Amino acid sequence: MQNIQKSKLFWASCLALLVTSLSFGIRAGIMGPLSAEFNLSASELATITATAFWGFPLAIIVGAFVVDIIGMKRLLVMAFLFHLAGIVLTIFAQGYWTLFLSTLLIGIANGTVEAACNPLVAALYPDNKTTKLNHFHLWFPGGIVIGTLIVYLLTDMGIGWQVQMGFMLIPALIYGYLFYQLEFPVTERVSSGYSTADMYKAVLSPLFLFMIICMFGTAITELFTGQWISLLMANITQNAILIVTLTAGVMVVGRAFAEPIVHRFSPSGVLLISAVIAVLGLYMLSTLTGNSIFIAALIFGIGVCYFWPTMIGFVAEYIPKSGALGINLMGGAGMFAVSLYMMFMGGYYDELIAKHLPAGADLDNYVNAPAGTQMAAALHDAKNLAGPEVLQTTLIIPVLLVIAFSGLVFYMRSRKLANA
């Protein structure tokens, strides 16, 4: 690895993840303007948003099977091209279908970044994988902070969503250039000499399959809530987008200081503690009002902070024979679960809104009602009730995670004692 510039590769990876997270942060902030400009219902918005979560697992799972063959560099050049196409198409979107396609392209780019960068970080830092994956993944909430602040500030200045999306081009062009110039190592599985048969056997092991199921829950808890919180809370607080910013900001700080926490509690212990705090935070988000919502957002951010990188780090550390395939199947499973859940909850949200409108009301008529009318006021009140109900339904998932991770902690302790 004498020609491998570890630091430059790591920072280029962080920039690539920054573009991925900007796509989440900026889209979370511009859902309202998109809905108004293109007259989109909550179900249509949910489908567009979910499209990014379809493209992601598609790309990350395909990438998982080919990364050892074509190399991480080629995957990341492809990610850059998909990002470029998706961003430009979004800026020039004309309606539902162009937004659908552009979001799909960005989702494919995001998945390709994860498919290459997660095994890249593991290969660069084989003795400190969970910590460095946390450091790498702090750029996901970091980009959400930057993205939501861009939306908040530019919207306040009267600058449109097209310019806000255009900000993503800057880090995209930089990471594309850096990855094109740098040399890459082989993946850790290849360098360790594990066979393809070893890899497939590892991803079919009971422990790996258990972690895949848990990844469904951790991803939905973190990403569904993060992507929809500004919409669900818009009628409860005037600064709903700042809830996203605060939650993501807590995650940046937490992941930056991951090393002593991971070493003190172990990955399985960190996951259990995170699930308990996520339950408390999500419950508070669904029940509190006024400025106390920001305290709830703070607690929720602490809860979901370590979920994604620690789940991936756990597999990289304790199921190393699964290689890049195992790491990427985890990410793909998480995003796929979010996409399905998001589509389901979009329709459920519409149903809840309709339930809180007068009997026999046509939701479309209320959505299109002019501001200041009685129908618009009734829709506002209905959304005010429906948003927290969506969060209360989602609360079931981290409750189940507390049970699952309690079992994981006991299993890992017993395994450690058996191997002592």
Most confident of 91-95, 189-193, 243-247, 305-309: 305-309
pLDDT at residue 160 in the model: 83
Is residue 195 predicted with pLDDT exceeding 60? yes
pLDDT at residue 218 in the model: 96
Convert the pLDDT of each residue in 111-124 to its tens digit: 899 889 988 998 89
In a domain? residue 188: yes
Query: If we measure between CA atoms, which residue out of 176, 124, 134, 148 comes closest to residue 23?
Result: 148
- Mean pLDDT score, 339-359: 82
pLDDT at residue 15 in the model: 94
Query: If we measure between CA atoms, which residue out of 164, 160, 168 comes closest to residue 20?
Result: 168
In a domain? residue 1: no
In a domain? residue 408: yes
The per-residue DSSP string of 300-344 comes to: HHHHHTTHHHHHHHHHHHHSGGGHHHHHHHHHHHHHHHHHHHHHH
How many structural domains does the chain have?
1
pTM for the structure as a whole: 0.79
The per-residue DSSP string of 351-374 comes to: HHHHHTSPTT--HHHHHTSPTTSH
Q: How far apart are CA 35 and CA 357, in angstroms?
A: 20
pLDDT at residue 409 in the model: 96
Going by C-beta distance under 8 Å and a sequence separation of 6 or more, which residues neighbour residue 417? none
pLDDT at residue 233 in the model: 61
Is residue 377 predicted with pLDDT exceeding 90? no
CATH number for the domain that contains residue 102: 1.20.1250.20
pLDDT at residue 109 in the model: 94
Is residue 389 predicted with pLDDT exceeding 70? yes
State the residue range of the domain holding 296.
6-419
pLDDT at residue 269 in the model: 95
- Mean pLDDT score, 213-226: 91
In a domain? residue 163: yes
Most confident of 15-29, 40-54, 388-402: 388-402
